[in-house]
Each structure stands twice: as C-alpha cells, then as structure tokens.
Structure 1
Amino acid sequence: MLRPSSRALTWISETCYVVLVLITVCFFAISCVALLSQAVRNAPNRSWTNNWDAVSIGATYVIVLFLSIAFCVKRRISVRRRLQRISKTYNGISRNDVPKSVHEYISREYVRSCLVAYESQPRDAVHEGWGRPGTKYSGMRFRRTLLDTIADIDARAHLVIPSHPTLKPHSRMLHHFRFISPLLPKDESGISLLHIYDSAIQLARISDREPTEEEFEIGIGAAQEIRRILNECRLEMLEESRTQLNVSPEAQALKP
C-alpha cells in the first residue's frame, strides 16, 4: 500500500488549515452581516442613523476579530521562542554539569537501556528467503544474492576466454558456461560445480518458494569455487605471458 510522502502530508495539512480558516472567516462575515441587517430592520427609523444596536454588534465583532488575531500571533510567537531555545547541537552531560550521584544514575540507566535494546534484537527469527539475524547471512536475500553472482562469474569467464558468448537473460548456466566446464573438477558420478551452480540458479529463477539456507549455501559455495578456479586460471595466464616476455630473443631462436 502506497503511503504519501512527508512533503505531501505537510501540503495536505497546510491546505486543510487554510480551508478551515477561510470557512471560519466566511461564517464570521455572514453572521456579522445578518445581525447588522437584522438590527437595521428592527430599528424604528429602519436606518443606520442613531442605531446603537448596529454599533454594539459591529463593535463586538471588531473586538472578537482583534482578540482572535492577537491570540494567534501570541501563540506563534511563543512556539517560535520555545523552538529557538532548543539547542541545535548535541552536548553530552559531563560530570561537572550535574552532581556525581545524578551522573552515575544517568550512566547506569543508559547502559541498562543499551543492554535491553541489544537483548531485544531478534536472533531466532526466520524469514523465508532471508538470512537469519546474528548469522553471516543476516540481511541477505538468498534469491537476489545467487542471481547477482551470474554477472560476476560471466565477467571472470570473459577474462579467461575472450570469445566467451554474451550473457542472455534466461540462458541456462550449463549452456552459457559450457566453455569453462573443462576447467571445473567433477566428482565420481560426473557432477561438476557447474551442475550444482546451474541447479541453484534455476531454483532462484523459477521456483515459487524461496531458497532455503542450506540450498543457498550449496549454490553460493559452488559460485565461490568457480570464481576461485577462474581467478587461478587468470593468474596462470598472466604468469605465462610474463614469462614469455622475459625470454630473450636468442633463447627463442634456439627453440626448435
């Protein structure tokens, strides 16, 4: 559900206040005119001349108007003065500002409040698809974190294999990273890290439910291992290139 911003709420509040003031002024003026006209109609000469009822009614409304304005001005001035007395900078309480017993009491209450706030933090709460508070996955959304590893691994694969294909939005990881598959070790059943990583990505992409913490650990572990292997391949390529550059022309001429 969308909630209006603070600026919109301020604008609505000020608009409602202005509308309320205008309505009050209108009713005030209408009542004044109605009473004055009634005083004129009830006068013996039906005129404003020597009509003390009209004078008293007008004087009463003028007094009420000035008193209302004075009350509003006084209210605004008092509020502004109170706000000006508030310090705009935070100044901590030192031992010289208050008695020792008061300072110790404030310090003790502050420490107690900190401990209560710390102990009140959720630790055993479990939110589906998110890391548990207090663990290394705290505040981490499993689905988004797994999907974010695709671009990183793709960039590292391009460094190792410049002709690596361009990443497409819905490509299977087994197909897209098929050129780096020979670099990844396999277990006894022929399952490589790429198979595990592909399963985790497919689960994060199309599954109706959120990945569990165990599934996330398996998927992110495979992603980290693939990144490590690609980094090692990249370092070996750089080392080999550096070695070839350091070989002298005479040694290259002696090679068969």
Structure 2
Amino acid sequence: MARGTTTLSLLFYAINVLVTTFFVCLSCVALLSQAVRSSTHQSWKQNFNAAIIGGTYAAVAMASIGFCLKRRIAIHRRLQRISKESRTLERGDVPRSVWRYMQQEYARACLVTFEAEPKAAVQQGWGKPGTPYEGVQYRSTLLRTIRDIDKLAHAVIPRHPPLRPHDRMLHHFRFILPLFTKDEEGLTPLHYYDSAVQLVRHSSREPTEAEFIIGMKAVEEITETLEGCRAEMEAGSMTERSESLFTDPDVL
C-alpha cells in the first residue's frame, strides 16, 4: 500500500512539473513573439524587450534549478546524519511532546492487543484457552517429536536406519517394535503414534484434542521405554568396564 502511494505521488509530481514547464515555455514564446511584433524593425536584432524577457525567464529557470538542487542536497545531508544502527530511543532523543505521544500510542497498542486476544474462542488444531495445551499447535507439536524419538532410537540401536521424510513410523521404527508391550487390542504405543503421525501428515482437517492426547501419550510411553533401554545399556557398559578393571591382571 505504501509503495503504491509513493509511486502515485511521484507520478503526480512528474505530471505537475511537465505541465508547469509547458505553460512557462508557452508564455515565454508568446511574450517573445509579442516583443518582436511590437518592435520598430519587427526582428530579433537590437530588440531590447526580447533580451529582457529572455534573460528574465533564464534567471527564473536557473533560480528554480538552484532551489531544487539546494533542497535535494539538504535532504541528502540530513539523511546522512541519521544513524544506521538500530537503537532504542530515549527521552532526550526527541521532544517532550513527541515522547509523550509515543508513550500514549504504545500504551494504546498494548491495550488493543490485550483486548483483541481471544478469551473463549477455540481454533481448530490449537489447544483451548485454560487447558494444559493452551497455545499448542497439535500438528507441528506431534511432527516435532519424530526427530526426538529417532535420536533415542539411534542411541539404543546405533545402526538404526536413517529417517526418511515420508516413512511410516511403524516401518521406520520396526527394529524397536519388540521393545514395547501390547495392550488388550494387541497394539503397542508405536501403533498409536503411527496413526497420530499419519493423521497430522495427510489429513485435510486439523487433529482434535483427543487425538493429540493419544499421540502425546504414545510419545511419552515410547520415550520412557527407550530412555529405560538406554539407561540399562549404560549401566551394563559401566558394569562390564568395572569388571574388566578388576579382572585384568595388568591393572592389578
């Protein structure tokens, strides 16, 4: 919007300059022709009036050009004095009235922002106000957990296959599937997590709070299981190291 307004103002300025120049030139030609016709010899030679008219218009043109150049140079110098570094304005940087106006506008903007915040509105795919998931976007939050679980899976199984963008979770985490226990329906937390990820990846609608809770519960169970496996592996490696230290004859 601002760019269009600037272009429009420049266009009007150019049109104004062209129209003014045209009429000034037209008046100059008319006066010169009148001076020639009213002279005794009706010619340009020894025509004092034509010389005065031409000199006057030339002086006006030079003065106008000089005024424009002076204005442009003054604006350029003032712009050069403006600091290019971003800094916070303080009370002494601007007049008191400007400072008071800035404070009033800032307070008004803060008040409008606060009043404009939804109090009881519910947006699809986001946590409801007043709930533990307030301000949480279900889709992006679930998708961010993929890399965290993948990192834990590589910590448990270093040769775990790398993550590919469109792999299903059941296929990608197939090597850690035996680590999870099944429920009454024969499903593991990885099955629920796979369903939640497929929903947020491919569904045209936003996930509901219930679906998000199921997915995050599966994430917690998967994370807890993998963390436990990693802790057992670290404890086992520490035990093996201590046993090797006590049984190694070189150390003894």
TM-score, normalised relative to structure 2: 0.67
Question: Who is 1:128 aligned against?
Answer: 124
Instruction: Assess, with a 3 A threshold, how the Cα gap between structure 1 residues 77 and 247 changes in structure 2: closer, same or farther.
Output: same
Within 5 Å, give how 1:244-255 maps onto structure 2: 244-248=240-244
Aligned length: 236
Q: 1:36 touches 1:54 (CA, 8 Å); kept in 2?
A: no
One-letter code aligned to 1:169: P
Q: Structure 2: where are the runs of 5+ without partners? A: none
- Superposed CA deviations along residues 126-157 of structure 1, whole A, max 9, x for unmatched, are 33333456765455432232222222211211
Counterparts of 2:165 and 2:190 in 1: how far apart (Å)? 18
1:62 aligns with 2:77: no
1:241 aligns with 2:240: no
Query: Which residue of 49, 56, 59 corresponds with 1:52?
Result: 49
Instruction: Assess, with a 3 A threshold, how the Cα gap between structure 1 residues 108 and 211 changes in structure 2: closer, same or farther.
Output: same
Query: Which residue of 181, 192, 199 corresponds with 2:195?
Result: 199
Instruction: Assess, with a 3 A threshold, how the Cα gap between structure 1 residues 248 and 143 changes in structure 2: closer, same or farther.
Output: closer
Within 5 Å, give how 1:159-174 maps onto structure 2: 159-174=155-170
Instruction: Assess, with a 3 A threshold, how the Cα gap between structure 1 residues 252 and 118 changes in structure 2: closer, same or farther.
Output: same
Q: Structure 1: where are the runs of 5+ without partners? A: none
1:227 aligns with 2:195: no
One-letter code aligned to 1:27: F
Within 5 Å, give how 1:17-28 maps onto structure 2: 23=18, 27=22
Shift in Å, 1:61:
5.9
One-letter code aligned to 1:179: F
Question: Who is 1:31 aligned against?
Answer: 26
One-letter code aligned to 1:228: E
TM-score, normalised relative to structure 1: 0.66
Query: Which residue of 153, 161, 181 corresponds with 2:177?
Result: 181
Question: Who is 1:214 aligned against?
Answer: 210
Instruction: Assess, with a 3 A threshold, how the Cα gap between structure 1 residues 138 and 52 changes in structure 2: closer, same or farther.
Output: farther
Counterparts of 2:133 and 2:71 in 1: how far apart (Å)? 56
Instruction: Assess, with a 3 A threshold, how the Cα gap between structure 1 residues 248 and 176 changes in structure 2: closer, same or farther.
Output: closer
Matched position secondary structure for 1:42: helix
Deviates more, 1:231-240 or 1:108-117: 108-117
Counterparts of 2:113 and 2:179 in 1: how far apart (Å)? 50
Matched position secondary structure for 1:247: helix
Q: Tell me the percent identity.
A: 40
